[in-house]
Chains A and B, each alone.
Chain A
Amino acid sequence: MSQSVPTDTQQSVDAPTRSVGDLLVSLGVLALGGYFAYGAFNISVAQSYSRVGPRFFPFLVAAGLLLCGALLLVQALRGTTALPEEGEDVDLDVPPDYRAVAVIGASLVTYVLLLEPLGFVLASALLFWGVAAAFGSRVWFRDPLVGLVLALIVYLAFTRLLGLRLPAGMLAPLGL
């Protein structure tokens, strides 16, 4: 069964080769723990309230995060590196493509900014196009068109059949 048990981490055998990413992640967990501890001090507690108050669980979570962050830091310093998750569409043998991540990030920011001014249909079509491009699609005329048709169908189904409200935006004059 050795091949079937997935392992999450890998220990470098010879001189510790430290991964900057693992170090940063452990520092991030520590920072999050610090933030929760800081926030817990700022939760006001009524003086008369003697029982376990609203601060107790926040302190517990903060302490847990600080402990886990410290252990992760020790692991990272010792050269334990996390192995990325496997998946059907994931190829761990190719170098990670952070440009694709950036393109999706940019598409999401654009979506947040344009959803209400442009309306659901146009903003969603743009998001669809951007994400498809990030996934390496180069069929420029197909992607925005598919996105537009999909968004239009979803918009009509949601607003007409299910009675939910979505921003009409620039398409409002068309009576949508």
Chain B
Amino acid sequence: MEALGALLDGFAVALTLPNLGWALLGVTLGTVVGVLPGIGPALTVALLLPVTFRLDPVGSFIMFAGIYYGGMYGGSTTSILLNTPGESASIITSLEGNKMARRGRGGAALATAAIGSFVAGTLATAALTFVAPLMVDVALRFGPADYFALMVLAFTTVASLLGSSVLRGVTSLLLGLGLGLVGIDLQTGQARYTLGVPEMLDGVNVVIVAVGLFAVGEAFYVASRLRRGDQDVTPIRGGVWMSREDWRRSWRPWLRGSLLGFPLGALPAGGAEIPTFLSYALEKRLSKNRAEFGHGAIEGVAGPEAANNAAAAGVLVPLLTLGLPTSATAAIMLAAFQQFGLQPGPLLFQTSPDLVWGLIASLYIGNAMLLVLNLPLVGLWVRLLFIPRPLLYAGILVFAALGTYSLNNSVIDLITLFVIGFVGFLMRRYAFPVAPAVVGMILGPMAEQQFRRALSISQGDPSVFVREPISAAFLALAFLAIATPLLAPLFRRR
């Protein structure tokens, strides 16, 4: 197999000492930010972009991928042990996980989450290894019209699947698209929406938008609704391991979660949330211990955690082979590629095989490291949950300001950061999901470019988008993604 040879070359890159160091640093950082409330992998990668500007791209991406995977592992620790509802991707794990912890089975819950994440992550990375080259072959045949239609599909699915109100998702997406318009139009050199500020000619940096919406917006919002009193962390009794019975009940949910998570993550369908929900529902239906659901059923932790991690690997398929980000973290990774002057997509596999295959190989290594980090050392990470919130959020804001300022040493960037941060606060308060804005901002200019390229090839004939079969199919799916949730209530009423 061609892919196996390429993967072996990738291991030769990833197993060098410096790159192993970057992977270890990445997975450790990822676990830390995954455990900590108020900061996640998208924000962390965004904050690290200015720092990694001068580093070697291969090492940087191995670290970013480690942060991305590590965030998934760390997040499960929080949702199992912290007795407060978290963000929606991890809320499922907390349903059963926290109940298990409170019944004194926290160790088993953490173990099935970590081992399930490892199993799913490894299986999904293997799937990525073999699916990616096939996708590259398909993607090489795509023309500008097909790319544009694919991006429209990504827009609609991201806007309708992240968060539960399509209207609010689309509004957030449009805000991101609007921010992406700011600056000089690449084709004609015209300035757009620069407010007469010369610094705006280069456009708004996506790092500033991501850090503003995630870090500053979150700090404003949490401050306005701070949970008072001591942190309600459920202590772990006994060791972090599973009984024979736990293994017997966990292995099928792990496999089913992986099977569900990888393809759904690989579709341009908005990341890990949906497969997590589906896996929970599936395990609940299939379980012989259905009565236990809602009171701490181990299947309800094992399945969703596996689905979560498999979807995270799946998201890398469209990102690497098509240059199409479908989650906030993937959007920031795309920004990182652009910072290094690289464009992810089918050609990247030919021009930078070291980078792509080194990155994929490092995912296997990162998963193994994360299993070690999260089973014996979990007690260490739990202590992070006790950091006083004033110090945590003050630190996050200092790093947000630092990361933004060091982009260009510009106070204008800081002002932009804080204004966008306040918008992020309003979005949280009024139930607008933040991720579509980030995806829209990074993908919008690319979509516009492909759109205009397609039209100039067709001599201005707009029917090109429906005459090309691939493009027409994507557009039809995009229409369904938006129309189904909007029209469904009309049919239900009758």
Binding site for B on A (CB under 8 A): 1, 3-9, 21-22, 25, 29, 32, 36, 39, 43-46, 49-54, 56-58, 61, 64-65, 68-69, 71-72, 75, 82-92, 94, 96-98, 100-101, 103-105, 108-109, 111-112, 115-116, 120, 124, 127-137, 143, 146-147, 150-151, 154, 158, 162-167
Contacts and interface: CB of A to CB of B under 8 A. Distances in A.
A115 B405 contact: yes
Contacts of A68: 167, 170-171, 174
A147 B227 CA distance: 23
Q: Which of B191, B398, B428, B444 neighbours the largest number of chain A CB atoms within 10 Å of its CB?
A: B398
Interface in B381-408: 388-391, 393-395, 397-399, 401-402, 405-406
Closest 5 A-B residue pairs measured CB to CB? A137-B390, A135-B390, A8-B431, A88-B37, A82-B431
A64 B174 CA distance: 7
10 contacts: A1-B284, A25-B430, A52-B451, A57-B181, A57-B448, A58-B181, A90-B221, A127-B397, A135-B394, A158-B406
Contacts of B415: 112
Given A44-B190, A71-B167, A112-B418, A5 B401 contact: no
B38 A108 contact: no
B178 A36 contact: yes
Secondary structure of the B contact surface, majority rule? helix
Contacts of B444: 57
Contact of B82 (A88, A115, A143, A151): A88
A72 B171 contact: yes
Nearest to B294: A3
Interface stretch (B83-91, B199-207, B326-334, B467-475): B83-91
Contacts of B226: 89-91, 94, 97, 100, 135-136
Nearest to A107: B397
Nearest to A50: B460
A115 B414 contact: yes
B95 interface: yes
Contact of A115 (B168, B411, B421, B426): B411
Contacts of A101: 220, 223-224, 425
A151 B398 contact: yes
A123 B100 CA distance: 45
A21 B174 CA distance: 20
Interface string B58-93: 000000000000000000001000101111100110
A91 B225 contact: yes
A21 B430 contact: yes
A69 B171 CA distance: 8
B429 interface: yes
Nearest to B411: A112
B192 interface: yes
A128 B395 CA distance: 7
A100 B448 CA distance: 41
Contact of B281 (A1, A39, A88, A136): A1
A111 B414 contact: yes
Contacts of A9: 165, 168, 431
A84 B411 contact: no
B164 interface: yes
Nearest to A95: B225
Given A52-B455, A100-B226, A128-B395, A36 B193 contact: yes
Given A7-B164, A54-B192, A104 B426 contact: no
Interface in B351-402: 388-391, 393-395, 397-399, 401-402
A103 to B, nearest CB: 8
B158 interface: no
Contacts of A57: 177, 181, 444, 448, 451
A45 B389 CA distance: 52
B348 interface: no
A61 B397 contact: no
Given A52-B455, A65-B178, A127-B394, A111 B401 contact: yes
Nearest to A151: B398
Nearest to B447: A57
Contacts of B51: 158, 162, 164
Contacts of B418: 105, 108-109, 112
Given A84-B428, A96-B224, A127 B406 contact: no
B164 A116 contact: no
Contacts of A90: 84, 221-222, 225-227
B422 interface: yes
Given A9-B165, A36-B178, A84-B428, A128 B224 contact: no
Nearest to A25: B430
